[in-house]
Amino acid sequence: MNCKANKGGTVCAYRNCSSKTGGLVSLFRIPKDATQAEGWLKACNRMDLASRSAEDLHKNFRLCEKHFENKYFPVVVKPERDC
Ligand SMILES: [Zn+2]
């Protein structure tokens, strides 16, 4: 682990994924739209976050590009790039 990476680094919200911002993979913010945000949470097995507001999810949680390769991932619009 690189200690310097702590600054501003956000870890991917996907269960058991440790990708971070500032690393080799791109991370995408969870959409502000509540319906879409819920779809993302389901897809990444994080329904424990479902009680949070979409705004909060959008600000604080990201998913890395690895999970967008899944054909069943319910992303309709291209997510906002955040790197
Ligand atoms: Zn990930």
For residue 45, the CA-to-ligand 1 centroid distance in Å is 12
The range of the structural domain enclosing residue 58 comes to 3-69
Q: What is the pLDDT of residues 1-31, one digit of tens each?
A: 444 444 568 999 998 899 999 988 889 899 9
Question: What span, in angstroms and rounded, lies between the C-alpha atoms of 35 and 9?
Answer: 26
Establish if 83 belongs to a structural domain: no
For residue 66, the CA-to-ligand 1 centroid distance in Å is 6
Establish if 77 belongs to a structural domain: no
Strand partners, 29: 62
61, 31 Cβ separation under 8 angstroms: no
* Residues with a beta carbon under 5 angstroms from ion ligand 1: 12, 14, 17, 19, 64, 66
Number of folded domains in the chain? 1
Question: What span, in angstroms and rounded, lies between the C-alpha atoms of 47 and 38?
Answer: 8
For residue 27, the CA-to-ligand 1 centroid distance in Å is 8
Establish if 32 belongs to a structural domain: yes
Q: In this predicted structure, which of 7-21, 28-42, 47-61, 69-83 has the lowest mean pLDDT?
A: 69-83
Residue 58: band (very low, low, confident or very high) from pLDDT cuts 50, 70, 90? very high
Establish if 82 belongs to a structural domain: no
Establish if 74 belongs to a structural domain: no
pLDDT the model gives residue 78: 56
